[in-house]
Structure 1
Amino acid sequence: MKKQVNGLKALRLFLEKEDRQRISELSAQMDLLADTVDRFYEVLGSRHWIFHDRLSITRLKDQVLDEPTIDEAEIAMCRIYEDAELMRIMILPLMRFPEMRARETLVNHALRDFTEKRYYATVLTLLTVMDGFVNDVQDVRRGLHARDATELQAWDTAVGHHMGLTATQASFRKSYSRRIDEEFFDLARNGILHGNITNYDNVIVASKAWNRLFAVVDWASSLEKAAKPKDKEPTWGEVVERIRSNAEFKSKLDEWEASSGTLKTTDACDTHTSTRAAVDFLELWAKSNWGHLSTRFMRLGKGSSGNATPKEIKSAFSPYVLESFVVRSYEVQAPAVAEVSVDIVVNGEMFPAVLRMTYTNEDGDTRVEGKQEGSWKMVFRSPEVYSRDIVKVAKY
């Protein structure tokens, strides 16, 4: 997150006032995130709940962590998973993994059972989903139940907290050799699947099953991040060249002028360089050309590890079949930022969308549009950002 904030600071001069203000608030928000995660484990860590990346900081602070007792906090956690609309939104990103898409029917069955209060069925189904997903997602062919804590260490995600996924693995794998008939409130895989825990049909255990599923997917995401090559430190020569380039960049700012326009016809795609880039991007999307489409996104950080990969783009875009599009207008209010308004027809429905771009050189450094050599790159890598409503027609 800190790297992303530093990257955004490089664009401060080219962003709107509200965006600049938001960037200045991000450091405080990161501190709030860290404090909330620590507070979460202070309150619920002993009950083996895990903070995963899809939990709302605001909701936790306002509705969970200030409850007077741990029992009330636990019930409040369950209410998060009982929110059916929220659950559909939280589940959708899981399907970017082909190993999870293969189990999508089971996940949907588990959600239906959970909504209809068949908690025992939810628990049994999600335990099998987690085992199978973990078995498939790595070359090491072992399910979640066969992994020790060291194998579940997560990088660059909240589940990597020392009281998170690794700390809860012991209770998850704990062996139960004697039958327990009293109502049970922990997600104890061994005891449940071997029939020694007989009274686990409650909302708390079922909610913990969802909680752990999201945490396991965050762990899988961390494997992807950790596998990417790390950026190299710049040489002194590169530093000097960057300073020279910055000086040139600033001198071009005075020459630049804002521009905007509306396309009168569908054939006017060459009205501006940003509209031409938008058409190029949309045509590649319509053709499902994931390899070339991946090159149309701005780099997130330096080095090849910051580039979008065809696999990432296919995972994000393939659920949305772009059938047609019309470019409506463009607006360039900053030297390296453009917004192109379009209408897109996806999976049979039309949506208004805004494509936000940045003007950069081959190294990913921002340039002054019209004054320096560069090209327009998309800022985001997920279609949901272009139009919020588009998610309702996703087909995984």
Structure 2
Amino acid sequence: MAKKKTKKQSKNRIRNIASIKELSTTVTNMKSLKQTMPLLGPILNEFGVKTDKIEDALSNIPELDMQTKDIVTIPDRFNNFFAEHGWITYRMMNFDVAKEAVLAAESGNFKGALELILQYYNVETIRFQLKRLNSIIAFRPRMELALKALIDYEEKRYHACVPVILALMDGLVNELHADRKGISAESTKLEAWDSIAAHSQGLEKLVRITRKGRRKTTNETITLPYRNGILHGTDLGYDNEIVAAKTWALLFAVGEWAAKAEKGELVPPEGKPKESLLDIIENIQELNNTKKELESWKPRESISINPDLFKENTPEYVLNKFLTYWMQKNYGRMTLILPYKVFDEKTAPLKVREQFKSQLLISYEIVSIQDIALSNTTISVKLLIDEFGRQNEKNHKFIMICEDDQGHAVSPKKSGSKWGSYTWHV
């Protein structure tokens, strides 16, 4: 069961990280603005601001306030219940699953909550999240082994996949940590600014559990991925689905830290100016527009797979450009598909060249285009690639995400947004 937090722990909560705190502050400002609108409205009208749209947006404040409270509190509530049992939340984890597990635990159905989390880590979930880890340069050489471990997981060969996953995350931490030490070192701290996973109440807490010394050999079944006991051959009862699923979850949480470490985002950036009233108003209008888009969004029907019919600023148009540039070996232009902040502008062409210099695209065929969400489209492509003089046919899914310049998924209509793919690495 969840334990009561001390006063010190209450201050050090995930709800206090920058992005969540900013969301909470924005909603608070909007609530305050709603209260002052009767006085402020006439003044704004004098400046030509259309207050009817603002008032329309502000009418949704109660619903938005409830949603925000969930977003703000669920990560801490989840970790408070489940961290000691080997589960923590992280940005890639499905929020609805985390919320449902928390509500089940709070209602007294703790066993059902644990089962719900375990079932979430099915093969498709793991495969999708592994593809997101492909955005971490240091993880790419490890992807082949990770995918082999996934096959073992699917075939229920848990004894084989668990040590591999543990070794891969150990190497990943060793490569990116300033101290050049693996996850097992007591001095290794896995905290990062503005991270849900890499937090003292998240990853740090979980790693302290998994790195426990396990010197006595035992055949007893364990339910936690004790790194030292498993890799040193003393915990022999790790061959089960629970340990395997928790090991995958730990890898994805470590991946959140790794992405921050690789981009140099472990510490806070320089402070930014506080929002003005006009900034708040613009945010309200943008939130309202996005909400309306989400409510009215439907996947496109009968999307043509003919590149000649692709419209500009669509995910298929961007992908087709990327594939065309690949055929031309134009590595500089191929960077158009990279998500924001994957590489800096100076090194991006070189990184793309390193990846594709031994892969010449001979031809390609768009097989299917499927809109998953407002800012998410999956495009399946059949590729004919010349690798070291041998032609190989590959089927690849490009998961196209529409992002802003901060790497946040946004509406394709938002100014400055662009379509990119975290699965550009074929």
How far apart in 2 are the matches of 1:352 and 1:296? 10
Q: Which residue is equivalent to 1:48?
A: 86
Give the partner amino acid of 2:231: L
1:43-82 equivalences under 5 Å are 43-62=81-100, 65-67=103-105, 68-81=108-121
Q: Are the aligned partners of 1:48 and 1:186 in contact in 2 as well (CA < 8 Å)?
A: yes
Q: Which residue is equivalent to 2:207?
A: 169
Q: Are the aligned partners of 1:155 and 1:225 in contact in 2 as well (CA < 8 Å)?
A: no
Q: Which residue is equivalent to 1:34?
A: 72
Q: Are the aligned partners of 1:145 and 1:173 in contact in 2 as well (CA < 8 Å)?
A: yes
Which SS does the other structure have where 1:162 is aligned?
A: coil
| 2:96 aligned with 1:84 | no
1:140 Cα deviation (Å)? Answer: 3.4
Q: Percent identity?
A: 24
How far apart in 2 are the matches of 1:189 and 1:352? 34
Q: In the superposition, relative to structure 1, how do residues 383 and 170 fare at CA in structure 2: closer, same or farther (>3 Å)?
A: closer
How far apart in 1 are the matches of 2:400 and 2:90? 30
Q: In the superposition, relative to structure 1, how do residues 166 and 323 fare at CA in structure 2: closer, same or farther (>3 Å)?
A: same
1:357 Cα deviation (Å)? Answer: 10
How far apart in 2 are the matches of 1:100 and 1:106? 10
Q: Are the aligned partners of 1:74 and 1:204 in contact in 2 as well (CA < 8 Å)?
A: no
Q: Which residue is equivalent to 2:229?
A: 191
Which SS does the other structure have where 1:214 is aligned?
A: helix
Give the partner amino acid of 2:238: Y
The number of residue pairs the alignment matches comes to 311
- Structure 1: gaps (5+ residues): 247-265, 326-342, 361-375, 385-390
Which SS does the other structure have where 2:222 is aligned?
A: coil
Q: In the superposition, relative to structure 1, how do residues 285 and 45 fare at CA in structure 2: closer, same or farther (>3 Å)?
A: same
Which SS does the other structure have where 1:96 is aligned?
A: coil
Q: Which residue is equivalent to 2:295?
A: none
Q: Are the aligned partners of 2:192 and 2:267 in contact in 1 as well (CA < 8 Å)?
A: no
| 2:165 aligned with 1:126 | yes
The CA deviation string for residues 48-82 of structure 1, in whole angstroms up to 9 with x for no partner, is 3221211111122235641544343222211111x
1:141 Cα deviation (Å)? Answer: 2.2
Give the partner amino acid of 1:287: Y
**If the length of structure 1 is used for normalisation, what is the TM-score?**
0.60
How far apart in 2 are the matches of 1:37 and 1:65? 12
How far apart in 2 are the matches of 1:354 and 1:191? 40
Instruction: Say which of 215, 221, 225 aligns to 2:253.
Output: 215
Task: Report the aligned-residue RMSD.
Answer: 5.3
**If the length of structure 2 is used for normalisation, what is the TM-score?**
0.56
How far apart in 2 are the matches of 1:75 and 1:164? 20
How far apart in 2 are the matches of 1:65 and 1:168? 21
How far apart in 1 are the matches of 2:165 and 2:74? 27
1:218-229 equivalences under 5 Å are 218-223=256-261, 224=263, 226=265
The CA deviation string for residues 18-55 of structure 1, in whole angstroms up to 9 with x for no partner, is xx79x977665443122111221232122132212111
